[in-house]
Structures are given as C-alpha cells and as structure tokens.
C-alpha cells in the first residue's frame, strides 16, 4: 500500500510492500500523476484514494510511538503547528494553528539558506523575539541587524521566539514530544524551556500505518 503525508514543502512517502524506509520528496518535485492509497496532509484529498485528517494521523502516530499514558505531542510543519495532549491514554486537548504559526518551518529554512547558516553551530540565545507569525516576525531580524546585531544573533533570537510560540501553544508542558522537519534543527530544539523528545519527520506516516492496523 502506498502511504503519503503531503506536506506544504515536503512529502513523506512510504510503500508498505517495498521493505524500504520512507522517502522525502520536495512537494514541487512530486510527479503530477502521483496518487497514494491512503494519505494525510496538504492535497491528500486530491492525491489519494482515501484520506484522514492530520490531527487524527498525528494522534494515532503518537499513540503508536509513545509508550506513556500522559504526553503532549507538538508537530511543527512548514505552514502550521498542531498539538495533541493525552491524559490517561485519552485525548483531552488538541489544537491546530495555521495563522499564529504561519509558515514557521518554511521561514526558518528560508532564513538558513538566505544567510547561509549552519544551525548545528549556532548557540541558543538567552532571549528571543516576541513572535506570533513566522512571516511577520522576520521584521524583527531586519530591525535587530540595523541596530547592530549580527545576522546570526538576530536569526537565533527569531528561532527562539518561534520555538516559544509553539511551546506556549502546546500548553507549556514540562516534557514535549516533537515531530516534523524542525526535529533536525538543533537550535530550534534547544530553544524549548523543557525536556524535548524528537520523534522525527514520519509520525503522521506512522499514524497512517496505525489506521491500517485498526481498520484492516
């Protein structure tokens, strides 16, 4: 069976019968005729025979991967952020924010390429900008550079502001499970003021596999 998580910037694809790990394809490079058997995410309804909601996929993926009755899972995508909170093995809260979390992952990737930054080497700043939108928050970087900050310092404070926005959106937990492409950004992960467990980029694919296990 062909499974797909259609992200705004990247698509994660798994052929369950191939024995191969999932592959990541830039959304712009995906073949026009590509169609999954089961999918979630951006364009899932148009590019698959059957689709499920992203929050459902996130919840089922979290249940499958996290062996704890109580947890908070935050997914940081290119375009939006969403979270699931479990207590006693039951969902008690969830949220999806495509406006205050607008383009946060995309913006961080864009800034890294524009300024030629290595996020593996940038230290976590002591403070960050107050940011509620990835796109609008870029003005803080330009203002800081004009005021004398280096580009690295300004971007680091921007990333911390983005991380804190996601942390507060998820309810400021003491421990946070994190999914999405930003799991691979050590600066972003280090900016959270709590314990962070990185689950990687394929949690929603795991949710699709769990959907198959549950429904046959």
Tens digits of residue pLDDT in 116-142: 999 999 999 999 998 877 777 888 999
In sequence order, which ranges of 170-202 are alpha helices (DSSP H)? 186-190
pTM listed for this prediction: 0.92
Residue owning tokens 């495509």: 98
Give dist(CA 189, CA 103) in Å, integer. Answer: 17
Give dist(CA 50, CA 45) in Å, integer. Answer: 7
**Residue 118, CA distances (Å) to 63, 115, 141, 184, 188 in order:** 33, 9, 17, 12, 12
CA 89 to chain centre: 23
Give dist(CA 94, CA 171) in Å, integer. Answer: 10
For the four alpha carbons of 88, 91, 93 and 97, in that order, the dihedral sign comes to positive
Average pLDDT over residues 183-202: 97
188/133: higher pLDDT: 188
Burial 184-198 (b: 16+ CB within 10 A, else e): ebebbbbbbeeebbb
Q: Residue 131 has what pLDDT? A: 80
| Other Cβ atoms closer than 10 A to 75 | 30
pLDDT at 100 over 60: no
Tokens found for residue 103? 């383009």
Residue owning tokens 């309804």: 45
Helix (H) or strand (E) holding 126, with range, is: none
């Amino acid at each position: 069976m062909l499974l797909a998580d259609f992200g705004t910037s990247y698509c994660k694809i798994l052929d369950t019968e191939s024995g191969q790990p999932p592959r990541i394809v830039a959304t712009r490079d995906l073949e026009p005729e590509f169609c999954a058997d089961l999918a979630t995410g951006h364009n899932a309804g148009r590019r698959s025979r059957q689709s499920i909601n992203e929050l459902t996929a996130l919840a089922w993926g979290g249940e499958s991967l996290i062996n704890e009755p109580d947890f908070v899972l935050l997914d940081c995508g290119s375009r939006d952020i969403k979270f699931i909170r479990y207590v006693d093995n039951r969902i008690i809260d969830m949220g999806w924010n495509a406006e205050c979390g607008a383009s946060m992952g995309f913006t961080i990737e864009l800034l890294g390429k524009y300024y030629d930054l290595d996020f593996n080497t940038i230290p976590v700043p002591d403070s960050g900008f107050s940011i509620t939108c990835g796109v609008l928050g870029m003005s803080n970087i330009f203002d800081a550079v004009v005021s004398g900050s280096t580009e690295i310092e300004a971007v680091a404070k921007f990333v911390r502001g983005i991380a804190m926005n996601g942390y507060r959106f998820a309810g400021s937990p003491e421990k946070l499970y994190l999914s999405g492409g930003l799991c691979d950004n050590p600066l972003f992960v280090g900016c959270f003021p709590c314990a962070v467990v990185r689950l990687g980029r394929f949690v929603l694919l795991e949710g699709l596999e769990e959907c198959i296990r549950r429904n046959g």
